[in-house]
Amino acid sequence: MARSTEKVQALTAGEQMQRGLAGILRAKETGTLAALLMMCLALTVTTRAFLTEDNLFDVIRGFSFVAIAGLGQIIVMLTGGIDLSVGSTMGFAGWIAAILLAGTSRGSTEVTPEILASGFAGPLNFPAATLIAILAGAGIGAVNGLLVTRVRLAPFIATLGTLSIFRGILVGFTEGWTQRIYQPQFLFMGQGYLARVPVPIIIMVVLAVLVFLFLTRTVWGTNIFAVGGSEAAAKMSGVPVRNTKFMAYVLCGALAGIGGILMSAKLGVAMPTAGQGYELDVIAAVVIGGTSLAGGEGTVWGVLIGAAIMGVLRNGLVLWNVPAYWRESFIGLVIIVAATVDQFRSLRRP
Amino acid sequence: MPKNNGDLLLEMHGISKSFPGVQALDKVDFTARRGEVVALIGENGAGKSTLMKILGGVYRYDEGRIVLRGEEVVFRSPHHAQQLGVSTIYQELNLTTNQTVGENIFLGRQPRLPGILGALGLIDRRAEREGALKHLKHLGVPIDPRARVSELSVAKQQLVEIAKALSFDSDILIMDEPTAALPDEEVHRLFGLIRSLKQQGLAIIFVSHRLEEVMEIADRIVVLRDGQLVGDVPIAEVTVQKIIQMMVGRTITDMYVKDKIEPGEPVLEVRNLTRKGVLSDVSLTVRAGEIVGLGGLIGAGRTETARAIFGVDPIDSGQIFVRGKPVRIDSPRSAIQHGIGYVPEDRKQQGLILIMAVRENIALARLPEMADLGWVRSGEVNQLANSMVEQLRIRTPGLQQQVMYLSGGNQQKVVVSKWLALNPRVLILDEPTRGVDVGAKAEIHGLINQLAKQGIAVLLISSELPELLGMSDRILVMCRGRIAGELQRHEFSQEAVIALASGAEQLATEA
């Protein structure tokens, strides 16, 4: 396939299509995609279970929550920031949805007569509860955004703080209890299938397309890249730097919230520990996907590949019967290898 | 081996180097002798930096060989090159500014205390200080080794870097645009130092865009063009005009063709702009179609004036009027809304987003206007970018090219086009041709004239006197945060600007 060299003048719709293709083929993500395909190939050859419809959909659904949170994380990382609080945000939003649907904040694990009488319904119906839960995620993002843009804390510190604060609030309110969810429409979002495809996968794809369009086709998206590329130059060009960053954190919170909600819908319970440690998986997925920690560079496509590599690897470790106690170190190894490859790639620049 | 001036110290034979898509150097020969200043010149992208970086051990070359003091060598790293006596002083100095002068000179090879303490890694501070002092004295430089580098002027930092280089017993010193950030008097001091190093038998490779300086200091010039050697001649046999010809491969006649423009109404008026400790009572007026030059030494407050007008830095008092109406400017955003554009001095940090494409950089400031509810009208952006690329003759492989891969001149055109996209009333240009090669410079000058002709009020900041004198209709000269004086075109001369800039007139009137 012709890579159409660099003479891409971007004039006609046809040329734009071509440019899109060239973009997909451009080295950075191609390398990680190749790594992903190689992993898949190795698993196909060495195990019987990998290349089956059930397993593949299981794997993809498994990483879809991380990928969705990753779609938020990349927005923040493109501005040159980082959001460590996404794991807490995921757990928090999932729990908010659960209590709004179940009607108690300290739910029992059994179906009580009251719940049966109410037709499994909490104080709010399914769309309202879900929306409020997403807004709760966005709210955590807004707190992060304010801390970063107004109080001018370093993103790492600000979100390290909110990571603990919101996890703490969650554990505090639940006192460690798990909240069961019965609302069938809600559970469908996590457990259901549309045309044999698990619903979370469909949601992930839709969100990926939306975030892609947001980043590449809107003024805000361009501003996000500009702020991450050079904050000084962006400011000098009239880009509202602080608002742009604020918005990035809000969107990150909202997307992490969606990831968390789907995760609780998949499990059918909201646990106070849900999403704990996920911030590392999310950040790893984004970075493996080629997003620069310095900001300004990265693609949605890369996030999906990065999340897939993490997901396939976890699946592979299970299929290969790697003892559970050892799995974590393999994942660490993959992160290091991916970052190393990226390092060599960036060295080629003049 | 005896060290006599004139001995062949370095020979580079048939050096070739290519980067993906570019033949940066094509079989280039280069020599340097003891006691010689060789100026390496060429337009941006001609291959100077590549050649220099090969010599500095930064890049490997594809072909050719390097003979140093009669022995063939291969530089494995910048450190290795330095150990072999080749030191490079880059334009961006490599000092740890948070540490002292002494610590910098001995960075990575600190003298240790004797015995067990030294083995444990304890540094002999006294030896460090005295060693540093010895090297600094050798250069005749009065700098305290205990001073923190961040407290020193750029000129002094550069001297520290030279002292550090010489402490390696280097006999080849490569200097990349060493005068770019120096005020005139420091340039003379630096040249004095270069001459004395020459006497001591060093070979100095001097890379510069400033041809007047090259004529003054160099013994021989080596000219590169498009990666090829086009000239290697003793300085006595060339003129500035001839060098330019070699560099660009064509004759550039009359660098400054100034069209007569009748200035219109005042567009930008600044009254009593004051920022404590930085600017005091700065007033100026720029009319439509007028190019007002802002001269002065580095640190006189020219860039600060521009930043205050553009809303980057807050002001303590003063007023700004645009087309007769008072305006409040508290951010670049509001300045832009009032039709002011600013091409900053620091192109790479503030003018451009280097990792973004040409297209995005051109459209960035105007993007909100080219969008419906935030959704960018791509076609319109492409059209704008295309027309700018065409109009300003920006040489780029495509609109999607990241601007970091463009040459300095083309990068600057991208910055200018970002503002032109907004149809500004006022354009402030801060050192618009710094680090830009001769050909592109002439083009940018032509562009500035053209903008003035279209009725844009231009405020031009330049440290290069020929440019300032050649381009401006009027010149305001700043000195220590004030406007020291104004010169009309018939009063223009380098001497007049320098006199005002150095505060000579002020002193005369005060006395």
- Tell me: do B189 and B113 sit in the same domain: no
Nearest by CB to B353, which of A8, A226, A348?
A: A226
Q: Extract the tokens encoding B61.
A: 């070359």
- Residue A251 inside a domain? The answer is yes
- Residue A25 inside a domain? The answer is no
Nearest by CB to B397, which of A7, A218, A225?
A: A7
Backbone angles phi, psi at B295, to 5 degrees: -105, 175
Query: Would the CB atoms of A19 and B349 count as touching at under 8 Å?
Result: no
Q: Tell me which chain A residue has its CA closest to the CA of residue B386.
A: A9
Residues of A with CB under 8 A from a CB of B: 5-11, 16, 19, 217-220, 222-223, 225-226, 229-230, 232-240, 296-297, 348-350
pLDDT for A293 beyond 60: yes
pLDDT of residue A349: 46
**What CATH number should be reported for the domain holding residue A338?**
1.10.3470
Chain B residues 364-423 with a CB less than 8 Å from chain A: 364-365, 367-368, 371, 374-376, 378, 382, 386, 397-401, 404-405, 418
- Tell me: do B343 and B448 sit in the same domain: yes
Digit-coded pLDDT (tens) for A31-73 = 788 889 999 999 999 999 899 999 999 999 999 999 999 999 9
Indicate the number of domains in chain A: 1
Digit-coded pLDDT (tens) for A8-17 = 343 455 555 5
The stretch A104-112 carries a mean pLDDT of 50
Neighbour tally for B49: CB within 10 Å: 22
- Residue B378 inside a domain? The answer is no
Q: Tell me which chain B residue has its CA closest to the CA of residue A237.
A: B365
- Residue B229 inside a domain? The answer is yes
Per-residue pLDDT 10s for chain B (511 aa) are 456 777 899 999 999 998 766 788 999 999 999 999 999 988 766 888 889 999 999 899 999 999 999 999 999 988 899 889 999 998 778 888 888 999 999 888 888 888 888 888 888 999 999 999 998 988 888 889 999 998 888 888 888 988 988 888 889 999 988 887 777 788 888 999 999 999 999 999 999 877 888 899 999 999 998 889 999 999 999 888 788 778 777 555 445 667 677 888 999 999 999 999 889 999 999 999 999 999 987 778 999 999 999 999 999 999 999 999 999 999 999 999 999 999 998 888 899 999 999 999 999 999 999 999 999 999 999 999 999 999 888 988 899 999 998 888 899 999 999 999 999 999 999 999 887 877 788 888 989 999 999 999 999 999 888 889 889 999 999 988 999 999 998 888 877 887 888 776 554 454 4
pLDDT of residue A286: 94
- Residue B401 inside a domain? The answer is no
| Strands laid side by side in the B317-322 sheet | B279-287, B266-275, B317-322, B325-327
- Residue B288 inside a domain? The answer is yes
Angle at B51 between CA B50 and CA B53, to 5 degrees: 65
The candidate with the shortest Cα–Cα distance to A63, out of A339, A243, A240, A278, is A278
Q: List the single range of A117-131, A204-218, B415-429 with lowest mean pLDDT.
A: A117-131
pLDDT of residue A25: 52
- Tell me: do B192 and B215 sit in the same domain: yes
DSSP B188-199: HHHHHHHHHHHH
Whole domain around residue A238: which residue ranges?
32-345
- Residue B259 inside a domain? The answer is no
pLDDT of residue A155: 97
pLDDT-derived band at A346, boundaries 50, 70, 90: low
| Distance (Å, whole) CA A122 – CA A105 | 11
- Tell me: do B57 and B99 sit in the same domain: no
The stretch A119-136 carries a mean pLDDT of 80
Query: Would the CB atoms of B312 and A233 count as touching at under 8 Å?
Result: no
Q: Is B354 on the interface with A (CB under 8 A)?
A: yes
| Distance (Å, whole) CA B204 – CA B197 | 8
- Residue A78 inside a domain? The answer is yes
Please check whether residue B286 is in contact with residue B322, taking contact to mean a CB–CB distance below 8 angstroms. Answer: no
pLDDT for A3 beyond 50: no
- Residue A199 inside a domain? The answer is yes
Query: Would the CB atoms of A236 and B312 count as touching at under 8 Å?
Result: yes
- Tell me: do B199 and B146 sit in the same domain: no
- Tell me: do B133 and B217 sit in the same domain: no
Compute the half-sphere exposure of residue A217: CA atoms within 13 Å on the CB side of its CA.
Answer: 14
pLDDT of residue B504: 61
Q: Tell me which chain A residue has its CA closest to the CA of residue B306.
A: A236
Best to test chain A binding among B355, B402, B406, B416 (most A CBs inside 10 Å): B355
Please check whether residue A98 is in contact with residue A183, taking contact to mean a CB–CB distance below 8 angstroms. Answer: no
Rounded to two decimals, the pTM is: 0.76
- Tell me: do B476 and B453 sit in the same domain: yes
Query: Would the CB atoms of B376 and A239 count as touching at under 8 Å?
Result: no
- Residue A79 inside a domain? The answer is yes
- Residue B228 inside a domain? The answer is yes
- Residue A21 inside a domain? The answer is no
Q: Could you report the predicted ipTM of this complex, rounded to two decimals?
A: 0.79
Indicate the number of domains in chain B: 3
Q: Tell me which chain A residue has its CA closest to the CA of residue B335.
A: A238
Q: Report how far apart, in Å, the C-alpha atoms of B159 and of each of B102, B153, B156, B201, B237 are.
A: 13, 10, 5, 19, 31
Nearest by CB to B359, which of A10, A218, A237?
A: A10
Task: Name the minimum distance, in Å, from the CA of A6 to any CA of chain B.
Answer: 6
- Residue owning tokens 């799995």: A327
- Tell me: do B30 and B122 sit in the same domain: no
Q: Which residues fall within 8 angstroms of residue B12, CB to CB, at 6 or more apart? A: B28, B29, B30, B31, B51, B54, B55, B64, B65, B66, B67
- Residue B466 inside a domain? The answer is yes
Query: Would the CB atoms of A219 and B355 count as touching at under 8 Å?
Result: no
- Tell me: do B217 and B298 sit in the same domain: no
Query: Would the CB atoms of B21 and A226 count as touching at under 8 Å?
Result: no
The average confidence (pLDDT) of chain A is 86
Task: Name the minimum distance, in Å, from the CA of A213 to any CA of chain B.
Answer: 9
- Residue B404 inside a domain? The answer is no
Digit-coded pLDDT (tens) for B36-51 = 999 998 876 688 888 9
Query: Would the CB atoms of B386 and A9 count as touching at under 8 Å?
Result: yes
- Residue A341 inside a domain? The answer is yes
Please check whether residue B10 is in contact with residue B170, taking contact to mean a CB–CB distance below 8 angstroms. Answer: no
Write the secondary structure of chain A as one string of H (helix), E (strand) and C (coil): CCCCCCCCCCCCHHHHHHHHHHHHHCHHHHHHHHHHHHHHHHHHHHCCCCCCHHHHHHHHHHHHHHHHHHHHHHHHHHCCCCCCCHHHHHHHHHHHHHHHHHCCCCCCCCCCHHHHHCCCCCCCCHHHHHHHHHHHHHHHHHHHHHHHHCCCCCHHHHHHHHHHHHHHHHHHHHCCCCEECCCHHHHHHHHCEECCEEHHHHHHHHHHHHHHHHHHHEHHHHHHHHHHHCHHHHHHCCCCHHHHHHHHHHHHHHHHHHHHHHHHHHHCEECCCCCCCHHHHHHHHHHHCCCCCCCCCCCHHHHHHHHHHHHHHHHHHHHCCCCHHHHHHHHHHHHHHHHHHHHHHHHCCC
Query: Would the CB atoms of B336 and A238 count as touching at under 8 Å?
Result: yes
Query: Would the CB atoms of A232 and B364 count as touching at under 8 Å?
Result: no
Residue B317, beta-bridge partner list: B274
Digit-coded pLDDT (tens) for A193-210 = 999 999 999 999 999 999
pLDDT-derived band at A123, boundaries 50, 70, 90: low
Chain A residues in contact with B382 by the CB 8 A cut-off are: 10-11
Nearest by CB to A232, which of B337, B349, B365?
A: B349
- The radius of gyration of chain A from alpha carbons, rounded to an integer in Å, stands at 21
- Tell me: do B226 and B343 sit in the same domain: no
Query: Would the CB atoms of A225 and B310 count as touching at under 8 Å?
Result: no
Query: Would the CB atoms of B356 and A234 count as touching at under 8 Å?
Result: no
**What CATH number should be reported for the domain holding residue B217?**
3.40.50.300
Nearest by CB to B367, which of A9, A222, A233?
A: A222
- Tell me: do B427 and B336 sit in the same domain: yes
- Residue A350 inside a domain? The answer is no
Backbone angles phi, psi at B280, to 5 degrees: -135, 125
- Residue owning tokens 């299970």: A318
Whole domain around residue B114: which residue ranges?
95-153
- Tell me: do B274 and B346 sit in the same domain: yes
Digit-coded pLDDT (tens) for A245-277 = 999 999 999 999 999 999 999 999 999 999 999
| Distance (Å, whole) CA B215 – CA B179 | 14
Q: Is A330 exposed, middle or buried (0-12, 13-18, 19+ CB in 10 A)?
A: middle
Q: Extract the tokens encoding B317.
A: 């008092």
